[in-house]
């Protein structure tokens, strides 16, 4: 070993060990946060709620203590109101510790995120150039700022409460301090509550999925499952997925077309997440993968089976209409039902309950042996755009991806539901449109398949309900209410004090 190589090892070793220590540290803090602080016991919400209860108790008994306390007061030397104030102070100290631990965990996650971005950049995988990176980075930085403000208001609340022991709680100054303490605690909660809508961590490979909101998606899916997966993956995971795809394509069977193989792998992984047994999954994957590829899928360092189950579950929650649509097609294939119309397969679906936007999925496949041009028209008075028309040129299918007889879910070859469905997704045309609701309540969407002349081929009407997300609405209302209560409380405290000063001057 040369002297230069030796010095290089000495420099890189502390760097890698430092990164590993940060990751292990986050693993510990995230486990604690998940079990007790932010989730699980939710001490970060329970402690301030209990302190508010004791604060009101202290204010209620500031003038007189209850009769049963008269036997305890000589021993402690504290009135009941002051004892409740001391208890509130202890609870607030616990809340501050919880906020410190929680913010520390968030800071470790963001540091690991930045380290991972730098690592991928060193491998010439530019994460910053991917769609959605800036919005994700902005969300992480916003969460860090909100946690800092929540912690600052929590510390301010405890300091104001501590001052009550200098000014007696029975005095006006003591009551004003109690009001200001309660108000700053309310402001602390107002800063913390919004961060619960988009939890994230870097301990899990899929820890950013819930925080990531795809900014755009293709309107026509070329490789359906592949496009869905890439759309919903956060930028870090998507960079790793590109490398994974290159590795897996080198392990395809020689006589298998690469697009079909990728769709079948993802389709099989999805079916495995819905209950397809491991042995059958291996059998289906072996039809398109070599032994090396089978080993790669089952024991990949990043995309393990557990990670794929999480990814598929996340996509299914985000786009339930797509999976409901292909589920109906799979049932038709399994039962041997005829296609919707002679020469064409047409299926459409949309969420029953729409929140921020509606995902409309349409699958069209030409079963005939001649090319065909059709117009897909979407009309709705309740969604934008109100009238949408797209012209598709449907090439004839490479083979007849529909069976007139019942087929099993999985069997040798492609004459099973998984094989036929993979072929339909590859050769068919899948459109994905995002419709923006204009009002809440009942809404209708009309989907028409027309000839170029305007003659109707097939038409569907979908009835949905447009609603806000209940949990998100509760969080937004709680955050706004807590902030307003805090501002009003501080304003009232200042007004009362100014009024006292000028009142005394007038006297």
Q: Which CATH number belongs to the domain containing residue 355 in this structure?
A: 2.60.40.10
Do 398 and 455 lie in a common domain?
yes
Do 425 and 341 lie in a common domain?
yes
Do 104 and 155 lie in a common domain?
yes
Do 78 and 179 lie in a common domain?
yes
Q: Residue 192 and residue 185: Cα distance in Å, rounded?
A: 11
Convert the pLDDT of each residue in 233-247 to its tens digit. 999 999 999 999 999
Q: Residue 49's pLDDT is what?
A: 92
Do 132 and 253 lie in a common domain?
no
Do 325 and 458 lie in a common domain?
yes
- C-alpha distances in angstroms, 118 versus 94, 125, 209? 36, 9, 20
Do 246 and 353 lie in a common domain?
no
Do 257 and 340 lie in a common domain?
no
User: Can you read off the two tokens belonging to residue 3?
Assistant: 């002297």
pTM value is: 0.85
Q: Residue 137's pLDDT is what?
A: 93
Cis upstream peptide for 385 (omega within 30°): yes
Paired with 391 in beta bridges are: 375
Among 286, 317, 348, the domain boundary falls at 317
Number of domains in the chain: 3
Cα angle vertex 458, ends 454, 459, to 5°?
Answer: 90
Do 159 and 289 lie in a common domain?
no
Side-chain half-sphere exposure of 143, counting CA atoms within 13 A: 23
Which residues does 312 contact at the CB level (< 8 Å), separation at least 6?
269, 270, 273
Q: Residue 17's pLDDT is what?
A: 56
- pLDDT at residue 400 above 90? no
Q: Which structural domain range is residue 303 located in?
A: 211-317
pLDDT band at 395 (very low <50, low <70, confident <90, very high): confident
- pLDDT at residue 153 above 80? yes
Do 238 and 376 lie in a common domain?
no
Is residue 3 in some structural domain? no
Q: Residue 459's pLDDT is what?
A: 87
Is residue 421 within 8 Å of 333, Cβ to Cβ?
yes
Do 153 and 271 lie in a common domain?
no
Q: Which residue has tokens 């590795």?
A: 247
Of 81, 80, 92, 107, nearest to 46 by C-alpha is 92
- C-alpha distances in angstroms, 211 versus 133, 221, 470? 11, 24, 18
Length of the chain (residues): 507
Backbone angles phi, psi at 294, to 5 degrees: -60, -40
- pLDDT at residue 281 above 60? yes
Q: Residue 63's pLDDT is what?
A: 79
């Amino acid at each position: 070993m040369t002297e230069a190589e030796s010095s290089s090892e000495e420099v890189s070793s502390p760097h890698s060990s430092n990164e590993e220590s940060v990751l292990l540290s986050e693993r510990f803090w995230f486990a604690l946060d998940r079990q007790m602080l932010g989730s699980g016991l939710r001490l970060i919400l329970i402690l301030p709620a209990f302190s508010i209860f004791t604060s009101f108790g202290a204010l209620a008994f500031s003038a007189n203590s209850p009769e049963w306390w008269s036997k305890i007061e000589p021993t402690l030397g504290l009135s009941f109101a002051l004892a409740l104030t001391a208890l509130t102070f202890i609870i607030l100290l616990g809340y501050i510790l919880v906020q410190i631990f929680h913010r520390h965990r968030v800071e470790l996650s963001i540091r690991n995120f930045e380290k991972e971005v730098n690592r991928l950049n060193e491998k010439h995988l530019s994460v910053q150039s991917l769609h959605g990176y800036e919005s994700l980075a902005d969300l992480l930085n916003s969460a860090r700022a909100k946690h800092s403000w929540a912690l600052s208001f929590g510390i301010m609340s405890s300091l104001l409460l501590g001052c009550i022991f200098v000014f007696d709680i029975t005095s006006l100054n003591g009551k004003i301090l109690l009001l200001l303490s309660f108000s700053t605690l309310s402001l602390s909660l107002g800063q913390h509550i919004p961060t619960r809508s988009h939890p994230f961590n870097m301990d899990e490979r899929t820890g950013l999925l819930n925080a990531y909101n795809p900014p755009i998606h293709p309107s026509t899916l070329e490789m359906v499952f592949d496009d869905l997966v890439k759309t919903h993956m956060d930028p870090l995971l998507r960079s790793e997925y590109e490398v994974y795809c290159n590795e897996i394509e080198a392990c395809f069977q020689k006589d298998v077309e690469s697009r079909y193989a990728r769709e079948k792998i993802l389709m099989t992984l999805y079916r495995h997440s819905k209950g397809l047994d491991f042995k059958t999954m291996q059998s289906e994957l072996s039809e398109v993968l070599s032994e090396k590829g089978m080993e790669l899928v089952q024991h990949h360092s990043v995309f393990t089976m557990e990670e794929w189950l999480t990814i598929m579950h996340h996509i299914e929650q985000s786009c339930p209409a797509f999976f409901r649509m292909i589920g109906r097609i799979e049932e038709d294939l399994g039962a041997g039902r005829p296609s919707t119309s002679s020469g064409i397969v047409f299926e459409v679906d949309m969420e029953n309950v729409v929140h921020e936007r509606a995902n409309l999925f349409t699958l069209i496949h030409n079963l005939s042996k001649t090319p065909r041009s059709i117009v897909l028209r979407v009309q709705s008075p309740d969604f934008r755009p109100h009238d949408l028309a797209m012209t598709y040129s449907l090439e004839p299918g490479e083979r007849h991806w529909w069976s007139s007889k019942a087929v099993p879910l999985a069997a040798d070859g492609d004459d099973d539901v998984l094989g036929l469905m993979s072929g339909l997704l590859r050769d068919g045309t899948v459109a994905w449109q995002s419709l923006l609701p204009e009002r809440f309540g009942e809404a209708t969407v009309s989907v028409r398949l027309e000839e170029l002349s305007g003659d109707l081929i097939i038409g569907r009407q979908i009835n949905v309900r447009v609603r806000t997300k209940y949990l998100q609405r509760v969080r937004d209302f709680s955050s706004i209410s807590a902030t307003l209560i805090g501002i009003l409380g501080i304003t009232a405290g200042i007004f009362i004090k100014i009024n006292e000063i000028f009142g005394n001057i007038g006297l």
